[in-house]
Amino acid sequence: MTETHKGHRITVEQGTDHVRVVHDGLLLAESRRPLLLRETGLPVRYYLPPADVRTDLLTPSDTHTHCPFKGDADYWSLPDAADLVWAYPEPKAEVAEIKDHFCFYDTEVVQD
């Protein structure tokens, strides 16, 4: 899906890259079915299905942010890493695919 607002563009597409998230040697997520979100002026972000994320290791944070293009985000933390991951439980209709998918700041693309 593509959404454009006055020169600001967001696309979401189903990816097939093998991606993973490792923090201090701990595997937090691994997926071969990430959603790729491209947004004007920002790096590609990988939104991972909940089944591919070690949610048992994450603690909900009190942090919440608002994006005028995507909606309101909730955050989760590790004991030594605050607000490491976020998700949009009720994203705007234009990016509905990312609902409840998790996004990390540092996602590694694995070269198989």
pTM for this model (two decimals): 0.91
Q: Which pLDDT value is given to residue 5?
A: 58
Structural domains of the chain sorted by starting position, each given as residue range(s) with its CATH number in brackets = 2-110 (2.170.150.40)
Please provide residue 84's backbone torsions phi and psi, each rounded to the nearest 5 degrees: -75, -25
Are 21 and 52 spatial neighbours (Cβ–Cβ below 8 Å)? no
Q: Which pLDDT value is given to residue 32?
A: 97
Instruction: Kindly list the averaged pLDDT for each block of 10 residues, start to end, along the chain of length 112.
Output: 68 95 96 96 95 97 96 96 97 96 93 76
Beta-bridge mates of residue 22:
27
| Phi-psi domain of 71 (left: phi exceeds 0; alpha: psi -120 through 50; beta: other) | left
Q: Which pLDDT value is given to residue 6?
A: 67
